[in-house]
Amino acid sequence: MSTFDNPFDSDRNLRAGCICGQHRSAAEHEQATALHCEPVESEEKRYEGVVASAVMRAMFPQDVARRAFLKSVGASTALAALSQFFPLKTATEVFAQAGTPEKKDLKVGFIPITCATPIIMAAPMGFYSRHGLNVEVVKTAGWAVIRDKTINKEYDAAHMLAPMPIAISLGLGANAIPFAVPAIENINGQGIVLAAKHKDKRDPKDWKGLKFAIPFDYSMHNYLLRYYLAEHGLDPDTDVQLRSVPPPEMVANLRADNIDGFLAPDNICQRAIYDGVGFMHLLSKEIWDGHPCCSFAASREFITSAPNSFAALTRAIVDATAYASKAENRKQIAEAIAPANYINAPVTVLEQVLTGTYADGLGGVKTDAKRVDFDPFPWQSFAVWMLTQMKRWGQIKGDVDYKAVAEQVYLATDTKKLMTEMGLSPPASAYKSFAVMGKTFDPAKPEDYVASFKIRKSS
């Protein structure tokens, strides 16, 4: 079951593909039939749906049994029957109140890129206020600043690159302060952009001596670019130059010919194309489809001192992420986050990123609905993978307890509980295996994985 599926749909296929079997994917099927219920708009209805879903799941923990029940009586009858003997109304009210937040006025920092979409949109689109919070989202100048301001408690929580909370917790490039990640912001949504003059240099083997920019040392961008280069036989430490450059300065540097390309967060990639200085060489999803990028992070101290505020914040983020994961909402989101108060970028650029229909900078229009996607679940296997790359490139020296660090920083258990309460269906395990450029990663054997790479920093 995927996270955002409707458990009242008896026809929903439990395997991949579509329900009726005539379409390749569920999305295609939905487009073809287009008879599915619209997302419920009103807040009360939403909660009712959430609570009813949770009760339904609790009554029929097994998918097959629930399906049979729904088939025989129909969804509306089932709901009516449920409300007969279960006080759905009361339960909904209780759920909506769910622990008064200790602190209502919160500050959340963000970097103006589309990765922060759920954090940003939750303010103008009312997701924070729906969960009883008054959140001020504050634009911040760079990753180091957002780290320092969160450590200083100027921000209660913040948008961070997915490896940053791990690095902070381990004391890499900062004092060791325990941080935690309750939700991943976005998956995919990055890209390798090359300067327009390199149009004919599409083979990475010809990239020796080029200068590339990455947003931060502890970033998925750094690890993905290094991985990509190494898979093509280039040693990222000796064959090319990698520079940490704040995202906004990347386009200007590309124009000024100071760098040859970058692996950067979106809207920056699309902005370079929009301004005619570069072209999209490759979407990051072609390196690893479904890779995490940015995370929503808070210090352990905030979580223990204000658990209800933290839970409400996480609920709001998960809620916003769920909304953002639906393709039909993306245009509206692009308009909501484009103004100067938020990302401050042209709407067309954000629309191209979020809808996945974009100009590639070479004269073509490409479509990839999953160019950026949103899924909040903080897979601990993601954290283990990042740790293996930190080890591979010499950011961590010595032995690493991969599992312990991953479990301490990526709060899969808590988020799972929260998502279940919200009527979503989180995955059963916090570890999954995935493939990066065709090479399978087994989260149970991180040491072997690190050792399997020929190109890595000799330590």
Partner 1 sequence: MTSSLRLRAGLVSIALLAAFLGIWHLATRSTGPVATMSPEYAKLMGLTATQGKSAMPGPLDVGAKLWEHLRRPFYDNGPNDKGLGIQLGYSIGRVGTGYLLAVLVAIPLGFLIGMSPLLSKALDPFIQVLKPISPLAWMPLALYTIKDSSISAIFVIFICSIWPMLLNTVFGVASVRKEWINVARTLEVGTVRRAFTVILPAAAPTILTGMRISIGIAWLVIVAAEMLVGGTGIGYFVWNEWNNLSITNVIIAILLIGIVGMLLDQILARFTRMVTYPE
Residues that bind partner 1 (CB under 8 A): 112, 123, 136-141, 145, 148-149, 152-154, 248-249, 251-252, 255, 271, 273-276, 339-342, 344-346, 348, 352, 357-359, 363-365
Q: How many CB atoms lie within 10 A of CB 68?
A: 13
CA pair distance 108, 139, nearest whole angstrom: 9
Give 179 or 342: the residue with its C-beta nearer to partner 1.
Answer: 342
Q: Measuring CA to CA, which residue among 204, 202, 347, 370 is closest to residue 284?
A: 370
Both tokens of 111, joined, read: 């970097």
Tokens 């200068």 found at: 211
Q: How far is CA 15 from CA 21, 87, 304, 365, 435, in A?
A: 11, 33, 39, 32, 20
Give 193 or 387: the residue with its C-beta nearer to partner 1.
193
Of 201, 294, 231, which is closest to residue 437 (Cα–Cα)? 231
Residue 145 C-beta: closest distance to partner 1, Å: 7
Minimum CB–partner distance for residue 3 and partner 1 (Å): 30
The span from the CA of 350 to the CA of 358, in Å, is 10
The whole-angstrom separation of Cα 202 and Cα 400 is 37
Distance in Å, CB of 154 to partner 1, minimum:
6
Closer CB to partner 1, 115 or 273, in the complex: 273
Nearer of residues 61 and 363 to partner 1, judged by Cβ: 363
Nearer to partner 1, 97 or 367 (CB): 367
In the complex with partner 1, the residue whose CB is nearer, 183 or 280, is 280
Rounded CA-CA distance 188/292 in Å is 6
In the complex, what is the shortest distance from the CB of residue 346 to partner 1, in angstroms, rounded to a whole number? 7
Lookup: tokens for 366: 């490409």
Return d(Cα 307, Cα 304) in angstroms, integer.
6
Select 59 or 145, whichever has its Cβ closest to partner 1: 145
Beta strands in 246-285 (DSSP E): 261-265, 278-283
> How many angstroms separate the CA atoms of 157 and 154, rounded?
9
Residue 458: exposure state from Cβ atoms within 10 A (0-12, 13-18, ≥19): exposed
- Tell me the Cα Rg of the chain: 22
Cβ 149 to partner 1, closest distance in Å? Answer: 6
CB of 220 to partner 1, least distance (A): 21
User: Closer to partner 1 at the Cβ: 134 or 459?
Assistant: 134
Smallest distance from partner 1 to CB 252, Å: 7
**Residue 337 Cβ vs partner 1, minimum distance, rounded to whole Å:** 11
